[in-house]
Amino acid sequence: MSYKPHYNLFKLLYCINYMQNNDFIRITFESKIKETGHKFDSAEDIPIVVGGGYSLKGVEETLLEMKVGEKKTVEVVPEKAFGKRNAALVKLISIAEFRRHGTKPVPGMTVDADNKRGRVLSVSGGRVRVDFNHPLAGKILVYEIEVKKKIETPEEKIKSLVEIFTRKDNVNVKIIGKEAEIELPPLVNSLFKKKIADEIIRLLELERVKFVEIFEKPKEQKIQEQTNK
């Protein structure tokens, strides 16, 4: 006798209850360094796409084991967070290099070099020791996560993507056929628009995305004009 049909039914019920890749959800979280207890990040009721690379690998794996309304505390090891510390990323740089850029290096200063960001550890004997590891590299992190809700409609999913990339949550969205039209405040970075459009097309199976920028008369000017009437 085969129990495969029952096993498949179990898998189906499991998938229905738990988060899946490409689900749009809203979460609340708080994160801290296990060793020190120092809290380095937190957010209330923010959108995220599960498995979309919008959070640490360890966090995404945890979300796939959670249901709406569930809270969970998880330890995230360096390999699934910001990586292990790499001694080769601690560099000695001549102080003359800093002086050429009109900079006086001091311990704790953040510096950018060769498209990498580092932190000055020490300055001694004409040499500057700079650590280009991520500040949280090598740290075990503790995340407290709550899945608040699942985002269901295409319009709300698009609004969530806009919020993820621009931090703006007051946009209007229309979907007509295979095209999405999004009203945005002016001067949103074109790179963000491209990323939003790419994700909409990939995740929602739409074919076109149109952005409409709305320029309005300043509110203060409207009030002044009404007062002068």
Based on the domain organization, do 39 and 143 belong to the same domain?
A: yes
Q: Would 222 be classed as within a structural domain? A: no
Element (H, E) at 191: helix 190-204
DSSP E strand boundaries for the chain: 24-33, 39-49, 71-76, 90-94, 110-113, 116-124, 127-131, 141-151, 172-176, 179-184, 208-213
User: What are 158-201's pLDDT values in tens digits?
Assistant: 999 999 999 988 899 999 999 999 998 888 899 999 999 999 99
Based on the domain organization, do 7 and 67 belong to the same domain?
A: yes
Q: Would 45 be classed as within a structural domain? A: yes
Based on the domain organization, do 57 and 142 belong to the same domain?
A: yes
Q: Is 11 exposed, middle or buried (0-12, 13-18, 19+ CB in 10 A)?
A: exposed
User: What CATH number is attached to the domain comprising 99?
Assistant: 2.40.10.330
Q: Would 58 be classed as within a structural domain? A: yes
Q: What CA–CA distance (Å, rounded) separates 96 from 16? A: 61
Q: Would 229 be classed as within a structural domain? A: no
Q: What CA–CA distance (Å, rounded) separates 214 from 177? A: 23
Q: Would 228 be classed as within a structural domain? A: no
127: number of CA atoms within 13 Å, CB side? 5
Based on the domain organization, do 12 and 55 belong to the same domain?
A: yes
User: What CATH number is attached to the domain comprising 58?
Assistant: 3.10.50.40
Q: Would 223 be classed as within a structural domain? A: no
User: What are 52-85's pLDDT values in tens digits?
Assistant: 899 999 999 999 999 999 999 999 999 999 999 9
Q: Comparing 54 with 6, which gets the higher pLDDT?
A: 54
Question: How many structural domains comprise the chain?
Answer: 3
Based on the domain organization, do 98 and 205 belong to the same domain?
A: no
Based on the domain organization, do 96 and 111 belong to the same domain?
A: yes
214 three-class SS: coil
Q: Which of 96, 123, 149 is the last residue of a domain?
A: 149
Q: Would 225 be classed as within a structural domain? A: no
Q: What is the pLDDT of residue 1?
A: 43
Q: Given the structure tokens 């708080």, which residue do they identify?
A: 30
Distances, alpha carbon 159 to alpha carbons 165, 207, 208, in Å: 10, 17, 16
Q: Which of 149, 183, 203 is the last residue of a domain?
A: 149
Based on the domain organization, do 103 and 141 belong to the same domain?
A: no
Based on the domain organization, do 103 and 140 belong to the same domain?
A: no
Whole-model pTM: value is 0.79
User: What CATH number is attached to the domain comprising 193?
Assistant: 3.30.70.2210
Q: What is the pLDDT of residue 3?
A: 47
Q: Would 142 be classed as within a structural domain? A: yes
51 three-class SS: coil
Based on the domain organization, do 144 and 59 belong to the same domain?
A: yes
Q: What are phi and psi of 127, to 5 degrees?
A: -120, 145
Least confidently predicted of 1-15, 121-135, 146-160, 170-184:
1-15
Q: What is the pLDDT of residue 10?
A: 52
- What is the residue range of 28's domain? 1-84+136-149
Based on the domain organization, do 78 and 91 belong to the same domain?
A: no
Based on the domain organization, do 59 and 140 belong to the same domain?
A: yes
Based on the domain organization, do 32 and 140 belong to the same domain?
A: yes
